[in-house]
Amino acid sequence: MNNCNRFYAVSSVAKCSGSAPMPCAPVSVDDFGEDVFTPGIMCRYLAPEVTNALLETINFGRPLDPALADDVALAMKRWAVERGATHFTHWFQPLNGGTAEKHDAFLELSNDGKALMEFSGKNLIGGETDASSFPSGGLRCTFEARGYTAWDPTSPAFIKRHSNGATLCIPTAFCSFTGEALDKKTPLLRSIQALSKSTTRLMKCFNLEPARVMVTLGAEQEYFLIDKQFYLQRPDLVQTGRTLFGAPPPKHQQLEDHYFGSIKPRVLAFMSEVERELWKLGIPAKTRHNEAAPAQFEIAPRFEELNLAVDHNMIIMEVLRVVADRHNLVCLMHEKPFFGVNGSGKHCNWSLDYGNLSLLKPGSDPHRNAIFLTALCAVIRAVDLHSDLLRSVTAGAGNDHRLGANEAPPAIISIFLGDQLTEVIEQIEQGGATGSKYRSGVLRVGADMLPPLPRDATDRNRTSPFAFTGNKFEFRMPGSSQSSSGVCMMLNTIVAESLDFIADRLENVSADKFNDALQKILQEIICKHKRIIFNGDNYSKDWVLEAERRGLPNLRSTMDAIAPLKKAENQELLVKYGVFSKSEMDSRYEIYLEEYQRKLRIECGIALEVARNMIHPVAVDEFTRVCSALSGARAAGVEAGCRDLETVSKRLGLSLDELGEAIDELSIALGREHHDILAALERVRRAVDTLEYLVDDRSWPLPKYREMLFIY
């Protein structure tokens, strides 16, 4: 039997990968932001007083006068129609992890039946959609369908283009009829507000003038590319986003020859078109490169204000998928699409600014360094106290396969500071009584300068899940497919609580005692929470034992990781800072649980289908062919070769038996608990992967790793 489809795909993809890439218009900075309703565009279409009022809302969160909404809507419509838009949509981020949109035409009819292009302030400010068909964790049910979208003016409207037109997209929040958040944006905005309030409060203790608080994010997005022909022949990829079967090829990433290597012309053409699309949408895509695994890549934008950066990352993921399709590729953003090689993460680089002051960047004067050390200690305290909550928002079926495997950090959260900054922290803990090999003298907060800390004072630790990298923290635990809103929402909230903890102790301290009081507070924080600091190899088995000795949680599975969402003290924290209500917290737990269980059962169902209908038949054919050859040889009195045929037939027979038993076990496990399903899935995989090595290559029905990862 010759599997024509697979070999035809290999031949076709090989020709495509060696041919000239499809033409693409060159990327130009002149195109940057041309499809975004930017402040520059506002000035052209709006009266100055309306523009100023809208910018006050965007930059400082001040309420927008509803009377101005009609003016803004008219300007938006004029601009969008001039750029080819015929429809508008409220673009929001429901709790399924993606984005959603319902397109409405600008079309209205006059009394005499004449077609008009209309868009009112009412259309801009809010909309209504079905809230029962999105995940809600019990907040909505089928007969309670009403939900509302509400304009978020802090994230600019943009135009999404397609082959036959364009749509004006208006970023919005999404809530239920009862006012409960049904999206990822609303809690994020609430957390930004909470962190802004806490930061302002603490900065007042340092006698700083009121300034705008800005949380920033740079989200590095990893992904895989494979040819669409291979993808369509892998039902597991189509249904789950990952390969449920696939024997490791002799060569994958062991030679470390793909990372930062020369980018293939076909992929470079894809990347160039992605950047062109993103630049038009005002998304500052900056970096592109080959990642560590074969067929794996990364795109990274410049830092932006957090809410905008989250919206932009959601757009980036969509653009990657759409443009890949135009190049006859498929972009895989599952956390572990290929067993045994690197998975894909979304590295969230988070920082905090107060006016022109970066709170996580040391300076050259004692006052600024005192602020830096205070912010640093607040983060240390927050992450140590609430690492379980940070882990909970990175939970998911895909990330379970990635965390702790190959390049990914383990499920244990720790902080990397580097040797130099760690020594500074240790000096503070010791009360400034020791010298430093980086600088002589005694270190006292607010009195003496820190040792010089240039931006790259420390080495990078790629194994740490939460690493200080000069003027920001890089959180490497989130998965590639996950929205960065959840992790940033949680980080904002727990840091806000730590900033308030410090402010509570400082607000009534007199000026002459301020530095001593601050030194004592930071000393106590470090002494109590230094267990979270680890500068070593997070991949090592020794660290797992050391972390357990320190009492750090190791929440390895989704079921373990989401449990903290139900703890009373965690719910009280999120409710206190206005990020969630009690019912919203409960709903998030239910959504995580349902999503995990549903994904597991989908994987179970498609694994059964592939194993029964695609693998088992070819294994039977191969066993029959070998046994027939053995019987024929013996019947003809030929002894040569019989011993080998008998050995092969036994191996095939045993593997066939194992596959049948594994299929039966998986079928039964489908109605049981998650751990039974996982164990049964693993057994079927082992059986199928063993057969991949035994069955004639010409008969194997699934594209193999050596093809998908190296031919594109």
Give residues with Cβ within 8 angstroms of 516, minimum separation 6.
none
- Rounded Cα gap, residues 310 and 288, in angstroms: 19
547, amino acid identity: A
Question: What does each C-alpha distance from 41 to 55, 120, 393 come to in angstroms?
Answer: 12, 19, 37
Q: Per this entry, what is the length of the chain?
A: 712
CB-based burial label for 564 (10 Å; 0-12, 13-18, 19+): buried
User: Are 9 and 227 a contacting pair, CB within 8 Å?
Assistant: yes
pLDDT at 24: 66
pLDDT at 98: 94
pLDDT at 1: 45
pLDDT at 630: 94
Secondary structure letter of residue 133 according to DSSP: S
Tokens of 221: 């997005």
pLDDT at 434: 46
The DSSP line for 296-320 is EEEEEEPPEEHHHHHHHHHHHHHHH
Average pLDDT per block of 10 residues along the chain, 712 residues long: 72 73 74 95 94 89 84 96 96 95 92 87 90 82 79 96 93 91 97 98 96 97 97 97 95 88 95 96 96 96 97 98 96 96 95 96 83 96 98 96 76 92 87 52 60 57 88 95 97 98 95 92 96 93 94 94 97 98 96 96 97 97 96 93 95 97 96 92 97 95 96 92
Please report which helix (H) or strand (E) contains residue 117, including its range: strand 115-117
User: Are 607 and 681 a contacting pair, CB within 8 Å?
Assistant: yes
Domains observed in the chain: 32-183 (3.10.20.70), 192-596 (3.30.590.10)
Task: Count CB-CB contacts under 10 A for residue 207.
Answer: 9
Q: Print burial letters for 137-156: b (CB count within 10 Å at least 16), e (below 16).
A: bebbeeeeeebbbbbbbbbb
pLDDT at 264: 95
pLDDT at 365: 78
Nearest to 196 by CA among 582, 499, 587: 499
**How many angstroms separate the first and last alpha carbons of the chain?**
26
Task: Return the CA Rg of the chain.
Answer: 29
Nearest to 674 by CA among 579, 581, 552, 560: 560
pLDDT at 20: 59
pLDDT at 339: 94
Q: Print burial letters for 445-463: b (CB count within 10 Å at least 16), e (below 16).
A: bbeebbbebeeebbeebbb
Tokens of 222: 């990893």
pLDDT at 432: 60
